[in-house]
Amino acid sequence: KAGVTQTPRYLIKTRGQQVTLSCSPISGHRSVSWYQQTPGQGLQFLFEYFSETQRNKGNFPGRFSGRQFSNSRSEMNVSTLELGDSALYLCASSLAGGQGEKLFFGSGTQLSVL
Amino acid sequence: GESVGLHLPTLSVQEGDNSIINCAYSNSASDYFIWYKQESGKGPQFIIDIRSNMDKRQGQRVTVLLNKTVKHLSLQIAATQPGDSAVYFCAETFSGSARQLTFGSGTQLTVLP
C-alpha cells in the first residue's frame, strides 16, 4: 500500500510569488491535514480537510489556503510568499480524522523562499 | 496559546541502554497524546499513543507514561538501537479538535556505538 505522497519534494521560489503543493493520501483515507515545520517554530498545524471541506484551521494568515478534491487528494497554496514561509510542509492522512486514528505523514515538500 | 514542550533538546545513549524522553504539556483539556519519530529527510512516524484515562501503555520496545497530575509524558525505549537515532516529538490533542495536533519542540536522540 503506497504511503502519503507529496510533490514536489523541493521547491525554490522568490518573495511575492505563489506556490501550490500537492498531497496524495493513502488509498481509502479521507482526512488530510497540513503542517508547517521550521527550526524556530517546530511543527504547526495549518488546516485539515475531510470530504472536500475544511474542518479545522490553524493560526496562519489568509495567504495560506488549501482544498481537497473528490478523490481526497489535497493541495495547499501560499500566495505572496515571504522569507519566513521557508519551511518543510508536511501532509498527513487518516481514515476519517477521528481521534485515535493513526496519522500517516508524507516526507514533505521543502520550500525555500529567496 | 498553550503548547507542548520538551525538557531536553538532545539525548545521547549507549547502544543497548534504555532511553527516556520527557515531555511537559500545559493544556489540561488535552486527552490524547502521541509520540512520533522523525528521521532525517522523512516525515514524522507514529510510535505509540495514550489516552488520558490511562497512565501507561506498552508497545514493542516502547512504553509511554502519562502523569496527568504534573502534566508530564515520557517515552521509554528499551535496548536502544542505532536505528532509534532520530528526533522524537510528543503531540497532544483534545476531543474537540481531533486532527489539530500540538507538537512539542522535539528531542534529538543519538545512539552511541
> What is the number of residues in chain B?
113
Beta carbons of A99 and B49 less than 8 Å apart: no
Question: From CA A90, how far away is CA A80, in angstroms rounded?
Answer: 20
Pick among B32, B53, B92, B100 to test the A interface (most A CBs inside 10 A): B100
Residue A84 backbone dihedrals phi, psi, to 5 degrees: -70, -5
Task: Nearest by CB to A56, from B45, B46, B100: name it.
Answer: B100
Q: What is the pLDDT of residue B5?
A: 47
- Test the B interface: residue of A37, A43, A95, A109 with most B CBs within 10 Å: A43
Residue whose C-alpha cell reads 521509554 in the numeric block: B76
- Residues of B whose CB is below 8 A from A106: 43
In eight-state DSSP terms, residue A102 is P
- Confidence band of A41 (pLDDT split at 50, 70, 90): confident
**What's the 3-state SS for chain B?**
CCCEEECCCEEEEECCCCEEEEEEECCCCCCEEEEEEECCCCCCEEEEEEECCCCEEECCCEEEEEECCCCEEEEEECCCCHHHCEEEEEEEECHHHCCCCEECCCEEEEEEC
Count how many pairs of residues, chain A against chain B, have C-beta atoms within 8 Å. Answer: 61
pLDDT tens sequence across B8-49: 589 999 999 999 999 998 789 899 999 999 999 999 999 999
- Is the pLDDT reported for residue A102 higher than 90? no
Asked if residue B100 lies in contact with residue B2, where contact means CB atoms within 8 angstroms, the answer is no
pLDDT digits over A2-30, tens only?
A: 899 999 999 999 999 999 999 999 999 99
Per-residue confidence at A107, pLDDT binned at 50, 70, 90?
A: very high
Q: Are B95 and A99 inside 8 Å of each other by CB?
A: yes
Mean pLDDT of B84-112: 88
Give the contacts of A104 (CB within 8 A, at least 6 positions apart): A3, A4, A25, A26, A29, A92, A93, A94, B46
B49 close contact with A: CB closer than 8 A? yes
Helices H / strands E in chain A, number of each = 0, 11
Residue B31 to residue A99: CA distance in whole angstroms: 10
Measured between CA atoms, the residue of chain A closest to residue B6 is A42
pLDDT of residue A100: 74
| B41 touches A at CB < 8 Å | yes
Phi-psi region of B90 (alpha: psi -120 to 50; beta: other; left: phi over 0): beta
Question: And the C-alpha cell for B24?
Answer: 511537559
